[in-house]
Each structure stands twice: as structure tokens, then as C-alpha cells.
Amino acid sequence: MTLSITVKNSFSLLLMMLISSPLMAVEHPEVVTGRQIYREGVLPNGKPLIGKRFGTTSVSGAEAACVNCHRPSGMGSVEGDTLVAPIASNYLFHTGEDRPIATMDPRVSKRFNQTHEAYTDEALGMAIRGGTNNQSVEMHGLMPRYTLSDKEMKSLIAYLKQLNMTWSPGVTGDSIRLATVITPDVDPERRQAFKETLRVIFKQKNGSTITNKHGGGKRLHMVTAAEMVLGTERNWTLDVWELKGAPDTWAAQLDALYQAHPVFALVSGLSNGGWEPVHDFCERQQVPEWFPSVPFPVQKPGKYSLYFSRGVVLEADVLARHLSRMDSKPKQVVQVYRDDAAGRAAATEFKRVMADQHIVVDDRILSGHTVESLRVLINSIGSKETAVMFWLRPEDVTTLQEIAPPAGINAYFSGMLLSSDPEVFSPSWKSNLHLVYPYELPDMRELNLQYFHTWLNINKMDMVDEAMQSEVFFSLNYLTDILSEMLNNLYRDYLVERGENMINKREGAKVQQEVNDLRSMGLKTELIRKHGNMTVEEGSRLPVGQTQLTKREGTTIYPRLSLGPGQRFASKGGYIMRYSHDMLEPETSWIVP
């Protein structure tokens, strides 16, 4: 299906010329005014937009803005059991035979938008003011009846006429161009594993994509029925943007790469530290940023960026909440960190939230990578401090094996920075060690990732970094599912909206799909049975006594992934873990700061 646009007047021609301009330097004043009404609920004179719901309930300003229900993309939403119809350009004004189609309800994939005849400006104005559509049917009472002057209405309609009228940059009739970003601080082994994981996924995806939409070919993976019938699946092209130099040069590098080859979205991504220039690039260019693997995501709100979690900043908040709830709350805490982007971010946040609890945090900044530099720092920690937070990476913890821990301290470590490998720690450190753990508990984590590990084995790939590689696997598979359901509505803001709305439903369905696939291989995966601290193989005879039965709920390294409109971090909490007989076990329940 191709988009067909009929130019009816000079104003529409002007809109098309503006949209096709690579610089997008000038917008028609009516479009600017219409956007303000649509997105902010503000009229040209600065007064609030006024409307009434259900005949009597007044709404105004931001509460009345169209964007609340129809979303930035204009592709609509679901409010309870009510489908809010798409009002993007092609859905209001399309006149071709192949009418645009959208799957509307993320809970019921077979529910599509209702089609209708193209609106005229007059008919649309009547619908917006009076609540009766161009089929003479009264619209739902949730839709406000707006009070707009003729000039204001003209501006709003002008904005709707250009709203996602064409595909976003990076999209053609048979391909979608994507990019990923790797920052210079990533070591060669992780860099290679990241690129290889992406390469295999892209190869498999494109190998099962039908590009001949008039017959021929064989589809090797499941897609939606609508996508199959409409032939909307496309090949993916990946650009790997490997940045160089200092972070203050990254913005220029990204802009140059994007100018050479505009992409539809940044998928995944890899960094050991700061990510702000990449985040800012995505917000500036309105390019979706799709679940990168980074320890320190940008915390400020963004419209186009979706992350797994808040990273080490989340860990700082989890630990602060834990310490503040202890029966014997410490009066002073020491934190040890390297002076890099992730270390500074974690240390700053931890110090801030602990100050709110009137707990003093004393900083120890690690310099150098030798045993002696770390020994000097450890020896500076007095015995009176009962809690020490170490924001250290595996290479630093390996060095700790040659150093005795300070007597009497409770040592806390970042699970995200360490990838929570029990073998990193020496026995002397494990005896009084706690791990801030933003991941699923080990038994269930292993179960959740069984399909991923099977995939690695089938493709003869080494597991270098379980957290990172499984994040890449999820990111790309989730993108496959979302693009499949978007059909031909390939608009960037719509991708973000679908990412927000579909993640809960997708996880539930994907669990069952993976279970079925693994069952066919003779693997039992759906339950963990526990007796005390012992995991018991499914189907074996359980010991006498109380048992715990845990059902698998996810497909990732994280226990709970959820998003909603405007939410940008899918996992929102963590555990405090400790070692028992060389095995990690939870010291706390799930903590959401």
C-alpha cells in the first residue's frame, strides 16, 4: 500500500513543499498556531482552549488539548474501552482507493480504525465544534466540543493537514534505515560482542522478510495478519555510528552522520559512561532512541528516548531507600567511585538523597588502576563507618581480591556496573557484602533468558556480557513486533507511542511464545519450584515442607517492564542482595524509590 496525496489547493502545495524541504526552516504561521492549539491547548491570543465533554463538563487549556487523547502522532489511543480514532492527515483527508489502516487497541490486535469518507474543511469544523462526524453520527462524549473562531479553526485544520502526512525520514516503500551508536569508552571485547549480536539479528530479520509484495518468497517468522495481507513489512538497513574523541565533539559527529544518511530511529546503543550528547541529538532531530545499553541514561525528560532503567542513578535511590529504612540507620556512609561519568552521576545522586535523610556521605575518589592505589583508598576508610558503597567495575573488584576488607563494614556494590558476577569477589569480601541489584532474581533471571541463551547457542555466539547482549536481543525483537503492528504508519512519534503502550502486552504474549518454542525442544521453562533456598527441578519429587511456586512473567533480565504515556524508564526498582554459600539471594523485597 502506498500513500496517495491529492493536492487540492495552493495551501496544501505549500505544506508539501515545506515538508519536503531538507532544512524544514520555515513553517506556515497557521501550522505553528494550529500546533499550539493541538499540543498545548493555547489559542493564538494566549487564552486557553475551551471545550465541553459529555455536554456539561468543561475542560480548558492543557487539559483540553487534542494531544491528550489523539497523541502527538495523531494516531489516536485507547481510553478504557473507547477507541480514540486517528486524526493524522491521511486519516482525515485521504481520497485514494487504498485507505490507510491502523491497529488501534494494544490489547486486541484485530481491532482496526473505522474508515470514513474524506473530510472537507467545513465538515471537520462542524465535527470539532458540534461533535457530529461527516457521517452524521454523534461522536463519543469524551470528545470535547470546542469553542473556536473561524481563524482558530483554520489554523487547527492546517496543522492536521500536515500531521504525519508522509513517512518519517529513513523510510521508503521497502526499507527502513536504522542506526546504532557506540561511544569511544567501550572496550574492544564488548564492542565486538555488541556489533555481532546486532549483525546476526538483522541478518535473520531480513532473511525472513518478503520484499516482493505481489507474490513469491517465503515468510520465516510470525507477523500480524494485517501486515501479511497489506505487505507492509520492510527490510532493515543498519548504520553503525562509532563515535570518536571527547564527548563535546559527539554532537557534530552525529549531525554529520545523520545529514549523510537520515535514519528512522537509533536502535540499542552502547556506552560505558555518559550518553547526554546522543540523547540530546535524538531530541533535537526528533529521532526515537530505542532502549540503549547504558549505565547512566539522561535523567531529564525526553520525548523520543526510551530506556530500560535510570541505571546507576536508580541504584543510588534504591540503596538510599534501603539504608533509610534500617532499624539502625547509619549516621555516616562512605562511597568509593571513579571520577568518570557513571561514577560521578551515581555519587552525586546518592549524596543528594542521603542528605534528605540527614545522613552524611563521605566521598573517596579512586585514581589509578593499581592494587596500591586501591589499597591506599581502602585503608583510609575507618572502622567506625558501618556502610561503604563501592561504585566500581569488574576490573576494580578483581584488584580487591588482593586487599582485605576493612573490619566491621557493610560493603555495598553496584550490580549494574559489575554485571553481578559472583566470581568477581574473593571469599573475604563476600562474607559481609551486599549488591544493589536492578535485575530479576537469579533463578528467574536464568529462566527468563533461557530462550536468549538458546538463541546464542544456535548461532554459535559467545556470551561476553549477559546484561548487554540480552538487552540488545530484547530491543531488536521488541522493535520487530512494534513495526509489524504499525503497518504502513511509519511515523517516529507513533513508534514511541506504540513502545509506551505495547510493552506490557508484548511481554505476556512473548513469554507464552518462548515457552511453546522451548517446549518443542524438550525444555521445561514455565515454573520455578523452591524449597527453602534450594531450587528443585520441575517434575522432580519435592521435599516435605512448604514450597514456593513462581511463574515466569517476562523475557528479559529485568523483573518488571512497564511504560505509559510520557514514561521513559521501563524498570523502576531493584533489590538488595547478599551472598549465601557463594549464591546470591535477596536481602529485601523489590524496592521502588
End residue of a domain, out of 135, 162, 189: 162
Residue 43 maps to which CATH number? 1.10.760.10
Residue 321 has pLDDT above 80, yes or no: yes
Average pLDDT of the chain is 86
What pLDDT shows up at residue 83? 85
Tell me whether residue 69 is in a domain. yes
Q: Hey, what's the torsion of the CAs at 471, 472, 473, 477, to 10 degrees?
A: 110
What DSSP string runs through 476-523?
HHHHHHHHHHHTT---HHHHHHHHHHHHHHHHHHHHHHHHHHHHHTT-
Residue 14 pLDDT level (bands cut at 50, 70, 90): very low
Amino acid identity of residue 339, one-letter, is D
Q: Which residue has the cell 553503525?
A: 240
Which domain covers residue 317, as residue numbers?
A: 312-437+570-586
* Whether residues 187 and 298 fall in one domain: yes
At 328, is the secondary structure helix, strand, or coil? coil
Residues 279 and 223 occupy one common structural domain: yes
On whether residue 499 sits in a domain, the answer given is no
- The number of folded domains in the chain is 3
Q: Which residues contact 403 (CB under 8 A, 6 or more apart)?
A: 371, 374, 375, 378
CA-atom Rg of the chain in angstroms: 27
Q: List the single range of 123-132, 270-279, 487-496, 550-559 with lowest mean pLDDT.
A: 550-559
Residue 188 and residue 293: Cα distance in Å, rounded? 16
Which of 117-131, 183-197, 360-374, 532-546 is least confident?
532-546
> Which 8-state DSSP code applies to residue 171?
B
Query: CB under 8 Å to 361, separation ≥6 — which residues?
Result: 332, 333, 334, 335, 350, 351, 354, 355
Residue 545 — pLDDT band, cuts 50, 70, 90?
very low
**Residues recorded for the chain:** 593
Q: What φ, ψ does residue 59 adopt, rounded to 5°?
A: -130, 150
At residue 156, the 3 state secondary structure works out as helix
Q: Is there a contact between 50 and 146 (Cβ–Cβ < 8 Å)? A: yes
Predicted TM-score (pTM) of the model is 0.88
Report helix, strand or coil for 453: helix
135 domain-assigned: yes
The enclosing H or E element of 320 equals helix 312-325
> Region 21-33: what's the mean pLDDT?
73
Whether residues 356 and 390 share a domain: the answer is yes
Amino acid of residue 543: P
Residues 141 and 156 placed together within one structural domain of the fold: yes
On the 0-12 / 13-18 / 19+ scale of CB atoms within 10 A, 35 is: buried
Residue pair 35/123 in contact by the 8 Å Cβ criterion: no
B/e letters for 466-501, b = 16+ CB within 10 Å, e = fewer, are bbbbbbbbbbbbbbbbbbbbbbbbbbbbbbbbbbbb
Coil, strand or helix: which one is 409? coil
* Contact by Cβ (8 Å): 86, 74: yes
Helix (H, G, I), strand (E, B) or coil at 337: strand
* Cα-Cα-Cα-Cα dihedral sign, residues 222, 517, 205, 563: positive
DSSP 588: S
Handedness of CA 323, 411, 430, 394 (dihedral sign): positive
CA distance linking residue 128 with residue 515, whole number of Å:
48
* Residues 485 and 419 grouped into a single domain: no
Residue 342 scores a pLDDT above 60: yes
Q: Which helix (H) or strand (E) holds 315?
A: helix 312-325
Which residues, at least 6 apart from 464, have a Cβ–Cβ distance to it below 8 Å?
Answer: 189, 190, 192, 193
Among 162, 194, 209, identify where a domain stops. 162
Whether the predicted pLDDT of 538 surpasses 50: no
Confidence of residue 7 (pLDDT cuts 50, 70, 90): very low
Do residues 409 and 381 lie in contact, with contact meaning Cβ atoms separated by under 8 Å? yes
Q: How far apart are CA 467 and CA 464, in angstroms?
A: 9
Q: Give percent of the chain above pLDDT 90.
A: 62
375 shares a domain with 269: no
CA distance between the termini of the chain: 47
**Per-residue confidence (pLDDT) for residue 570, from 0 to 100:** 96
60 plus 203 within the same structural domain: no
- Looking at residue 67, what is its pLDDT? 97
pLDDT over threshold 80, residue 163: yes
Spatial distance between the Cα atoms of 310 and 573, rounded to a whole number of angstroms? 9
User: In this predicted structure, what is the pLDDT of residue 10?
Assistant: 37
* Co-location of 394 and 245 in the same domain: no
* Beta-strand runs (E) in 248-406: 265-267, 289-290, 305-306, 332-338, 360-366, 387-391
Residue 557 has pLDDT above 60, yes or no: yes
Given the C-alpha cell 533535537, which residue does it identify?
Answer: 284
Give yes or no: residues 430 and 453 share one domain: no
Predicted pLDDT of residue 11: 39
- Contacts of residue 23, Cβ cutoff 8 Å, sequence gap at least 6: none
Is the domain of 71 the same as that of 148?
yes
Cβ burial of 369 (10 Å; 0-12, 13-18, 19+) is exposed
Residue 128, phi then psi, degrees to nearest 5: -70, -40
Q: What is the pLDDT of residue 540?
A: 39
Q: Is residue 507 part of a domain?
A: no
| Structural domain includes residue 562 | no
Band the pLDDT of 386: cuts 50, 70, 90: confident
Quote the CA–CA distance of 483 and 104 in Å, as a whole number.
14
Give the confidence band of 27 by pLDDT, cuts at 50, 70, 90.
confident
- Residue 421 has a pLDDT of 63
Place of cell 548487554: 468
- Domain harbouring 279, CATH code: 3.40.50.2300
Whether 536 maps to a domain, the answer reads no
390, 413 Cβ separation under 8 angstroms: yes
Question: Do strands 387-391 and 410-414 pair parallel, antiparallel, or not at all (unpaired)?
Answer: parallel
Task: Let me know: does 291 contact 473? Beta carbons within 8 Å.
Answer: no
* Residue 222 pLDDT exceeds 80: no
Give the pLDDT confidence score for residue 550 in this predicted structure: 60
* Confidence tier at 239 by pLDDT (50, 70, 90): very high
476 within some domain: yes
**Residues 297 and 229 occupy one common structural domain:** yes
526 inside domain: no
pLDDT in tens, 50-106: 999 998 999 999 999 999 999 999 999 887 778 898 999 999 998 877 788 888 776
Please state, in angstroms and as integers, the Cα–Cα distance from residue 441 to each residue in 7, 393, 407, following that order: 58, 21, 29
Q: Which helix (H) or strand (E) holds 125?
A: helix 121-130
Q: Tens digits of per-residue pLDDT, 119-157?
A: 999 999 999 999 999 999 999 999 999 999 999 999 999
Q: Which residue has the cell 494566549?
A: 46
Q: Are residues 299 and 318 in the same domain?
A: no
Model pLDDT, residue 504: 82
Q: Give the Cα separation of 299 and 363 in Å (integer).
A: 22
